[in-house]
Amino acid sequence: MPNKKLLLAKRPVGMPDPDTWNLVSEEIPTPGPGEIVIQNHYVSLDPAMRGWMNDSRSYIPPVQLGEVMRAGTIGVVVAANEHPKYKVGDVLTGWGGVQQYSLTNGDNYYAVDTSLAPMPTYIGTLGMPGMTAYFGILEVGKIKEGDVVLISGAAGAVGSVAGQIAKVKGCTVIGIAGGPEKCAYLVDELGFDGAIDYKNENVYAGIKQHCPKGIDVYFDNVGGDILDAALSRLRLHARVVICGAISQYNNTSAVKGPSNYLSLLVNRATMQGMVVMDYAKGYREAAMNMGQWMMQGKLKSREDVYEGIENFYETFQRLFTGEKRGKLVLKVIEE
């Protein structure tokens, strides 16, 4: 059986098209001394992948043309050559890329226990998006009991976890998401106190209605007009967490910045960007806390799993159309 892998073929302008990547086959690699081969079962599809395709300065180097598309993965070690830490059968998560087998020295991989949670959860709520939510809402948002917390992209992988953590900590939580089904999910299943359907409602009016006294913490996943609407309702000493700006990632013109930023001045508020990798030292403790909340039924995890590396492109598009329910995952192992 060959190793199918997806190579970046060109740098997209705007929304990527199917020719952006090439799917190729090669022999499954053989590990050299100190190396392992992991058979990837699941690939994580994340909005950040769009940014990694641009040839511009960022928090991580861009994916080069001809390289395997960078992505988070989880899989099983199928070959090991005198590896000091990992053996055949270990389940590891790391940056394996969009491919069925990864050859690695094991650096930056973590072993996980699939008797505690299924594989997709380890690249979702207990993986990078969950860590982003955890450190974003607790360390950057500095939430405290009684805060009014507004979250955009609230039905997504990061937003849904950030909102549930804020509920655990005794905050009033309002989510912004696209469509009545996602809004009902936030309130009825995740316990949010309210939801605003940005595709069918006026967001300014919705924030005013749900947060009559204003917002203490705004956790932003989308940027653009929604960020501006949130800025217009800040309370004194509010914190704005800049986690992402998915509404701007496929722009062909300049990113739309906030025009209501003087609200930061008036309200002595702060707006702070964050990158999850800065918190790597705390991942283990965060995963333990989140695992506990999951066992107590306080934190729900939802993954939307699609199948087949051949279906990468149409699955990837769902990040931007919103046609998905929860964390987007692609199963790449062929059974």
Residues that bind ligand NAP (CB under 6 A): 46-48, 129, 132, 153, 155-159, 177-178, 182, 221-222, 243-247, 274-276, 319-320, 322, 324, 327-328
- Judged by CB, which is closer to ligand NAP: 31, or 223? 223
Say if residues 105 and 45 touch (Cβ distance below 8 Å): no
Cα 255–Cα 209–Cα 239 angle in degrees, nearest 5: 50
Q: How many helices (H) and strands (E) does the chain have?
A: 10, 15
Question: Which DSSP symbol is given to 301?
Answer: -
Compute the least distance from the CB of residue 82 to ligand NAP, in Å: 35
- Judged by CB, which is closer to ligand NAP: 43, or 222? 222
Residues 38, 83: Cα–Cα separation, whole Å: 13
- Judged by CB, which is closer to ligand NAP: 48, or 173? 48
Compute the least distance from the CB of residue 27 to ligand NAP, in Å: 33
Compute the least distance from the CB of residue 18 to ligand NAP, in Å: 20
Strand partners, 36: 80, 104
- Judged by CB, which is closer to ligand NAP: 229, or 243? 243
- Judged by CB, which is closer to ligand NAP: 124, or 291? 124
| CB-closest chain residue to ligand NAP | 156
Compute the least distance from the CB of residue 188 to ligand NAP, in Å: 16
Tokens (6 digits) for 100: 């069925």
Handedness of CA 268, 210, 195, 301 (dihedral sign): positive
Distances (CA, A) of 277 to 129, 159, 258, 283: 11, 17, 26, 9
Compute the least distance from the CB of residue 333 to ligand NAP, in Å: 22
